Structures are given as structure tokens and as C-alpha cells.
Amino acid sequence: MPNENISSRRTFLKSTAGIVGAASLAAPHAAHAKTSAGKKLKIGVFGLDYTFWGLWAGLLNPEGTDFFNMEISHVWDKNTQKAKEFADKWGCKVVKNYDDMLGHVDGVVNGGFYNVPWQHKMFRPYIEAGVPTYLSRPWSSRMKDLNEMLELAAKHDTPLIATATYEHYNEADNFKGQLENVGEIESVYATCGAGDRPHFHIPYMMMKILGDNIEEVSMMTNDPKKPSYLQSTYIYGATEDQAPYALTMHSLRSYVYSFQINGKLGTENVSMPGNANYFIRFAPQLIDIQKTIATKSNYQPFDFVRKKHEMVMSEYYSHYERGGAPVKVGTVPQDWQYPLWRPDWYDESDFS
């Protein structure tokens, strides 16, 4: 997880190039979704360990700028001391119980990773109440838990946003627009940083570019958590005007992301270095979270969110249960759970 040394947003916004860059990265979803004049959306914070909140908070609640229309108003964490330190630093209120924000916030956002297996419990009261909810990646440790949240959200007409950072980058939309240049796809190659893999930023981005018609997935690695090597293969199925093809992804000790799509009409490439300016890196995602909360509309259809998670679970299942052999997407047992990073982080009773 990146450290908390955040590049100055004020400095960034003063530069014309910075403003243009931010607009480019955030398009087409970056329209400011204002509520009533002068009123900012109130955000409830969850997940203060192994978290993006060390970065996001400095972007939402810094001094002297008004780029976002959100502010952190409440925080909950089982570690009450950590919650108090966060509240003191960013000027928000600590709540005693995880559901005490109900009626006081416009949206809830989990920036943590260790608490993902308990999101379906932690956010249930908010989803039932129609509060827009951001799920941290990869959303659940079992398929049945994600399906429970999706079904509950559909029943109560609750907007959900379940994404990773790079899905929000303009490069994804631009690269998708270049697909017509290659014609019928023959093969796709991608590389990304080894540290990216626990969060699946790049696989989610590639699904946004190529679609979700993935039939089989395999993952070969020495360790999904801290790999020295990792290769995933995604088999895309045939359609009326497209033969089957493979997307092969290699995770390297590098933070330069590169993609190459080969087709019958030609080849398209794009490279995207990891960006040290955290405003450029995270603003597009935060703006889309803001838009989801303000407009109370889903960022992506629930079926696409489900398919993304079926892909993730198939990768884990391939490694842990099949020794890297391919797994048909959608066949992982609903109750199967991948090994948790911190199995003792919470208990089901914490959310009763």
C-alpha cells in the first residue's frame, strides 16, 4: 500500500497541465455531481488498516481546495484508538457501533483490505437502508457473500460501486476505443506490477476494455499474496464475429503496466507507468464514487460486478484447488473461501 506522503493538491490544481491531466484521467465520468448549493456529501469511513484511507482522506479533506464535493463526516473501526486518531486528524466523528452512521451519512466507503470478508455483514444495514455503498476489493471471500449483497441492493434499490483504481482511468476508455483498429482479436498480452495482484486492478481494467465474455481462467504463482512470479490466462469465448482468444497476464517486479492487443488488422499498444502523484492516481476513482453517491446510480451493472468476482474467485480456485489448471468461470462453489490474509481480523459476532 502506498505511504501517506501525498503530493499537494493545491500545487496540482494551480498548474494548467495538472488540471488538464486530471480531467483527461477522470473522463467521461468526472462530471461534478453537486447536491444543493454549498452542501457537501457526507461520507462514512470504514477500514483503517492496509487501507487507501491514508491517501484518500488527504485528497478529500485537505486545506484550501474544493475539488471534490465530498467530506469525511464519520468513521468506525473495531480498533477504537485508531478510529480516534483518524477522527482527530481529519475532523470527523467516531461512532461506537458499525451501524451508528445510519441517518447521518450520504454514503459509506470501505478503503480497507483485511475486512473484505466481512463486508456483507458490515454494510448490510446500509444497503437495506438504501445508502450508496463502496465495496473494497475484491468485495468478498466467497461468492455467496457478494451475491447476498447484490440481491439485497437490488431489492432495496441501493447503488453499489465495486471497482479498483485503474478501471476509472481514461486509458481504459481510450484503449477500448482502439479495438476497432485491430479487427478480430487474435491475442492479448499484459504486464503489471507483482504487488498489484492482490487487488486485481489490472484484470478489472482489462475486463472493462475487452468485456466479460471470459469462459476459463487459470493462475500460476508461488504466492498470490506476495508473488515473485504470477501468470494468469483468461480464455475469451467465441461470438458471432470473434473467434476465441487468450489474454495472458504476467506480474513482474515493476510498476509499469503495458498492454498489447493483436488482431487481424493490426496491433495496438499502451503503457501506463505507476504515478507517484496521488491526486492523479486516485482522483478519477473518487470522482466516480462521488457521482454514484450523489446521483444514486450504479457505476456498473450488478451482472458485470458479479462476473468480475467470478473471474477473481476462479483465479484463486485455480491456484489453491487445481494447481494452476484452468477453471470454468461460474463453477466455483458458492461456499468456497480462499485463504484469508487475516482470518482473525473480525468475527461474525462483531456485526450482530
Q: What is the pLDDT of residues 240-274, one digit of tens each?
A: 999 999 999 988 766 677 889 999 999 999 887 66
Number of separate domains in the chain: 1
132 located within any domain: yes
What does the angle CA 17 – CA 61 – CA 46 come to, to the nearest 5 degrees?
120
The Cβ-side half-sphere exposure at 160, using a 13 Å CA radius, reads 31
192: confidence class by pLDDT, cuts 50, 70, 90: confident
Closest CA to 131 of 106, 110, 149, 109: 106
143 located within any domain: yes
327 located within any domain: no
CATH number assigned to the domain comprising residue 71: 3.40.50.720
Q: Has residue 287 got a pLDDT over 80? A: yes
Residue range 84-121, pLDDT digits in tens: 999 999 999 999 999 999 999 999 999 999 999 999 99
State how far the Cα of 172 lies from the Cα of 167, in Å rounded to an integer. Answer: 7
Quote the crossing angle between the two packed helices 53-60 and 80-90, to the nearest 10°: 30
Q: What is the pTM of this model?
A: 0.87
Extract the C-alpha cell encoding 207.
475486463
140 located within any domain: yes
Residue 121 one-letter amino acid: K
- Give me the pLDDT at residue 11, please: 39
State how far the Cα of 329 lies from the Cα of 314, in Å rounded to an integer. Answer: 6
Q: Are 16 and 22 in contact (CB under 8 A)?
A: no
Chain centroid to Cα 279, Å, comes to 16
What is the domain extent for residue 24? 9-165+288-295
